[in-house]
């Protein structure tokens, strides 16, 4: 029954729709709802107070989860994070120093480059942590401390529910680190725990925009290029959106930090280039709005993913607007991942590509 598509056309659709549930499972593993605190007994093996930095390595979508986590660890725990694509990290001969905690993120726990990076850090005496979805995997076994995502088996080659569950675990870990290091007060941590506790129901609301996304994906399937823009934790999400569109629909796409628009991608803007803007109405929304105005002035077709306040303030600059529920900053990348996944899913369905098994790709890359 686990390998059953149920009423869905593809495993990917099923896995997208499972997210409210599996995010709930994952969060209940690491949150103490009654005490409004995080609860990660395994993390007691790591003394976050004595750490100088965290080194994160991962591949593909898991790498983007790590990039979001960098913002969180730095903001909530004031802990510097260095993050690398594992295939680069493993050959860079980077110095591993006292006070480094090396963290590896992998759905399968078997990705060759991620595993090699883990072994490099272990050989250099770093403490090793892993966020994995397959508990009996090699990476889980070789790590000193493992934080499981409770996403259940993920069959679709393009990662969906494993990604949002990785984010959920990493958010809990950042809060834990912040409490230990004294950079988050008990009250501040409790407020963040409340934000996370709302994730499953916010995810249900986010899924409600599927009919609209399906409609706007049809013309998209005729585009040959696309651009994704975002700032802050939505910048990694922009890259994840571009990756998904490439993987599933073979449309060339790039994800950029919105602030980099003027440093290159603006040259690509014309009426044929769909520009997805991932922009909840947060403290830097204004900055992203001015980027959108630059795109619109050059005839670019904007698809804005925002909330009601962002829609109101954008004053019709976007051709299409996908409205998300209001979300606290911390959980925005988790909730905004859902429309991003649905855009690439429906575009691929319109194009008739093999959604669950895109050409040339493997679910788990166990050889270099
Ligand atoms: C492949 C998959 C991706 C995944 C990446 C890393 O490229 O298609 O969906 O994000 O590997 O896999 P891992 O199992 O290490 O998370």
| pLDDT tens digits, one per residue of 221-265 | 889 999 999 999 999 999 999 999 999 999 999 999 999 999 999
Instruction: Sort strands 37-38 and 31-32 into parallel, antiparallel or unpaired.
Output: antiparallel
Which residue of the set 5, 75, 122, 363 is catalytic? Answer: 363
The reply to whether 215 belongs to the active site is no
The pLDDT tens digits of the residues spanning 192-224 come to: 999 999 999 999 999 999 999 999 998 888 899
Yes or no: say if 306 and 284 are a contact pair by the CB < 8 Å rule: no
The pLDDT tens digits of the residues spanning 22-68 come to: 999 999 999 999 999 999 999 899 999 999 999 999 999 999 999 99
Residue 239 CA, distance from chain mean position? 9
Q: Does residue 62's CB lie within 6 angstroms of at least one atom of ligand 1? A: yes
Question: What was the ipTM of the complex prediction?
Answer: 0.97
Band the pLDDT of 364: cuts 50, 70, 90. confident
Mean pLDDT for all residues in the chain: 95
- Compute the distance from residue 363 Cα to the ligand 1 centre, in Å: 6
Q: What is the mean pLDDT of residues 115-135?
A: 96
Cα three-residue angle 236-305-311, rounded to 5 degrees:
135
Q: Does residue 166's CB lie within 6 angstroms of at least one atom of ligand 1? A: no
- Compute the distance from residue 351 Cα to the ligand 1 centre, in Å: 23
The pLDDT tens digits of the residues spanning 330-360 come to: 999 999 999 999 999 999 999 888 888 888 8
- Compute the distance from residue 190 Cα to the ligand 1 centre, in Å: 33
Band the pLDDT of 1: cuts 50, 70, 90. very low
Q: What is the dihedral of CA 59, 62, 63, 67, to 10 degrees?
A: -170
């Amino acid at each position: 029954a686990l390998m059953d598509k149920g009423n869905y056309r593809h495993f990917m659709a099923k896995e997208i729709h499972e997210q409210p549930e599996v995010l709930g499972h994952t969060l209940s593993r690491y949150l103490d709802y009654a005490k409004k605190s995080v609860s990660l007994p395994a993390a007691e093996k790591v003394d976050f107070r004595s750490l100088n930095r965290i080194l994160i390595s991962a591949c593909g979508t898991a790498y983007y989860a790590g990039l979001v986590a960098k913002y969180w660890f730095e903001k909530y725990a004031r802990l510097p994070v260095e993050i690398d694509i594992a295939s680069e990290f493993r050959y860079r001969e980077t110095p591993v120093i006292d006070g480094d905690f090396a963290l590896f993120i992998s759905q399968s726990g078997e990705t060759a480059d991620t595993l090699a990076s883990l072994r490099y850090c272990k050989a250099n005496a770093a403490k090793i942590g892993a966020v994995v979805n397959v508990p009996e995997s090699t990476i889980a076994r070789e790590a000193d401390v493992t934080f499981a995502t409770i996403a259940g088996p993920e069959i679709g080659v393009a990662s969906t529910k494993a990604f949002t569950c990785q984010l959920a675990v990493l958010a809990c870990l950042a809060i834990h680190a912040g409490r230990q290091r004294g950079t988050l007060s008990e009250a501040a941590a409790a407020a963040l725990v409340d934000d996370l506790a709302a994730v499953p129901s916010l995810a249900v609301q986010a899924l409600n925009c599927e009919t609209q996304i399906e409609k706007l994906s049809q013309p998209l399937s005729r585009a040959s290029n696309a651009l994704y823009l975002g700032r802050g934790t939505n910048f990694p999400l922009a890259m994840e959106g571009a990756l998904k569109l490439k993987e599933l629909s073979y449309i060339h796409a790039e994800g950029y930090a919105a602030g980099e628009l003027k440093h290159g991608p603006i040259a690509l803007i014309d009426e044929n280039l769909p520009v997805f803007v991932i922009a909840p109405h947060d403290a830097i929304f204004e900055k992203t709005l001015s980027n959108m105005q630059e795109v619109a002035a050059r005839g670019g077709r904007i698809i804005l993913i925002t909330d009601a306040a962002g829609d109101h303030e954008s004053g019709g600059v976007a051709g299409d607007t996908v409205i998300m529920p209001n979300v606290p900053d911390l959980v925005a990348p988790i909730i905004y991942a859902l429309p991003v996944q649905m855009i690439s899913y429906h575009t691929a369905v319109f194009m008739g590509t093999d959604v669950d098994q895109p050409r040339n790709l493997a679910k788990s890359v166990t050889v270099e």
